[in-house]
Structure 1
Amino acid sequence: MILIKKEIQSILYNFKNILLAYSGGIDSTVLLYNLVKLRKKYPLIIRAIHINHNLNKRSNDWMKFCFSECKKLNVLFIHKNIYINKKNNIEEYARKKRYQIFKKIIKNDEILVTAHNLDEQCETFFLSLKRGSGPKGLSGISIIRIINDFKIFRPFLNISKNNIINYAIKKKINWIEDPSNKNIKYDRNFLRNIILPKMIDRWPSFQITLARSIKNYNEQEKLLHDLIKPILIRLIQKDKSLFISPLYHFNIIKRNFIIRKWIEYNKYYYMPSRKLLNIIWNEVICCKNNNNPQVKIGEYIIRKYKNYLFCIKYFPDLKKKILVWNNLKKPLILPNKLGKIIIFYYKNYKKKLICIRKPKNNEIIYIKFNNSTEKYYFNNAKYKKNINNIWKNLNIPKWKREQIPLLFYNKKLIVELENQLITQYGQTDITEKNNWFIYFQKKY
Structure 2
Amino acid sequence: MIDRLRRLFAQSTPPRLWVAYSGGCDSHALLHACAQLRAECGLTLSAIHIDHGLHPDSGSWARHCRAVCHALGVDYHEHQAQIERGPGESLEALARSARQRIFANCLGPGDWLVTAQHRDDQAETLLLALLRGSGVHGLAAMPAQSALGPGTLVRPLLDLAQAELRAYAEQHRLRWIDDPSNQDLSFDRNLLRHQVMPLLRQRWPSAATTIARSAAHCAEAAALIDALADEQLPRVAGLRPGTLSVARLSTLAPERARAVLRRWLAQQGFQAPNRLRLETILGEVLRARADAQPMVAWDSCELRRYRDDLFALAPLPPRPATELSWDGRQPLQLPMGLGMLSLEVDDSARPAMGLASPPALPDVPSMRVRFAVSGLCCRQPNRPSRRLKILFQHNGIPAWLRPYVPLLLDLEGDLLAVAGVAACGSSSTPSQPTLRLRWIGHPWVRFGWFDPVLGFGPE
Q: Which TM bucket (shorter chain)? A: 0.7 to 0.9
Tell me the distance in 2 between the aligned counterparts of 1:171 and 1:280.
55
Q: Which residue number in structure 1 is paired with residue 449 of structure 2?
A: none
Deviation track 1:236-258 (CA, whole Å, cap 9, x = no partner) reads: 35711112323333322122111
Tell me the distance in 1 between the aligned counterparts of 2:260 and 2:343.
46
Tell me the distance in 2 between the aligned counterparts of 1:83 and 1:262.
29
Q: Which residue number in structure 2 is paired with residue 247 of structure 1?
A: 249
Q: Which residue number in structure 2 is paired with residue 29 of structure 1?
A: 28
Contact kept, 8 Å, 1:322 with 1:368, in 2: the verdict is yes
Contact kept, 8 Å, 1:356 with 1:428, in 2: the verdict is no
The structural deviation recorded for 1:398 is 2.8
The structural deviation recorded for 1:302 is 0.7
The answer to whether residue 165 in structure 2 is matched with residue 164 in structure 1 is: yes
AA aligned opposite 1:271: A
Q: Which residue number in structure 1 is paired with residue 441 of structure 2?
A: 442
Deviation track 1:269-311 (CA, whole Å, cap 9, x = no partner) reads: x221110101111221111253311111211111112222111
Q: Which residue number in structure 2 is paired with residue 335 of structure 1?
A: 335
**Equivalent residue runs for 1:20-419 within 5 Å:** 20-86=19-85, 88-236=89-237, 239-268=241-270, 270-288=271-289, 290-318=291-319, 321-325=321-325, 330-343=330-343, 358-359=364-365, 365-370=367-372, 372-378=374-380, 380-410=381-411, 411-419=413-421
The structural deviation recorded for 1:96 is 2.2
SS in 2 for 1:342: strand
The structural deviation recorded for 1:105 is 1.9
The structural deviation recorded for 1:338 is 2.4
SS in 2 for 1:15: coil
Tell me the distance in 2 between the aligned counterparts of 1:182 and 1:171.
25
AA aligned opposite 2:234: I
Tell me the distance in 2 between the aligned counterparts of 1:389 and 1:135.
46
The structural deviation recorded for 1:26 is 0.7
Tell me the distance in 1 between the aligned counterparts of 2:107 and 2:131.
33
Tell me the distance in 1 between the aligned counterparts of 2:69 and 2:280.
50
Change (3 A) 1:412 1:72: same
Q: Which residue number in structure 2 is paired with residue 8 of structure 1?
A: 8
The structural deviation recorded for 1:161 is 1.3
AA aligned opposite 1:412: D
The structural deviation recorded for 1:322 is 2.1
Change (3 A) 1:389 1:28: same
Change (3 A) 1:100 1:5: closer
Contact kept, 8 Å, 1:352 with 1:439, in 2: the verdict is no
Change (3 A) 1:440 1:5: closer
SS in 1 for 2:311: strand
SS in 2 for 1:264: helix
AA aligned opposite 1:333: Q
Deviation track 1:44-102 (CA, whole Å, cap 9, x = no partner) reads: 11111111112222112111111111111111111112243426422222222222222
- The CA RMSD measured in Å over matched residues stands at 2.9
SS in 2 for 1:304: strand
The structural deviation recorded for 1:373 is 3.1
Q: Which ranges of structure 2 fall in alignment gaps of 5 or more residues?
A: 351-356, 444-459
Contact kept, 8 Å, 2:17 with 2:112, in 1: the verdict is yes
Q: Which residue number in structure 1 is paired with residue 448 of structure 2?
A: none
Tell me the distance in 1 between the aligned counterparts of 2:258 and 2:378.
45
AA aligned opposite 1:359: P
Change (3 A) 1:208 1:352: farther
SS in 2 for 1:166: helix
Deviation track 1:382-435 (CA, whole Å, cap 9, x = no partner) reads: 31111221222222333343322111234322211212x2322x65577759x9
The structural deviation recorded for 1:210 is 0.8
How many correspondences in the alignment? 431
The structural deviation recorded for 1:328 is 6.3
The structural deviation recorded for 1:156 is 1.2
Report which stretch shifted further, 20-29 or 302-311. 302-311
Change (3 A) 1:294 1:339: same
The structural deviation recorded for 1:369 is 2.4
Tell me the distance in 1 between the aligned counterparts of 2:130 and 2:226.
21
Tell me the distance in 2 between the aligned counterparts of 1:396 and 1:135.
37
Q: TM-score, normalised by structure 1?
A: 0.88
The structural deviation recorded for 1:218 is 1.0
Change (3 A) 1:18 1:352: farther
Deviation track 1:182-206 (CA, whole Å, cap 9, x = no partner) reads: 1111112221222112212321101
Contact kept, 8 Å, 1:357 with 1:427, in 2: the verdict is no
SS in 2 for 1:152: strand
AA aligned opposite 1:358: V
Change (3 A) 1:327 1:304: same
Change (3 A) 1:370 1:197: same
Q: Which ranges of structure 1 fall in alignment gaps of 5 or more residues?
A: none
AA aligned opposite 2:364: K
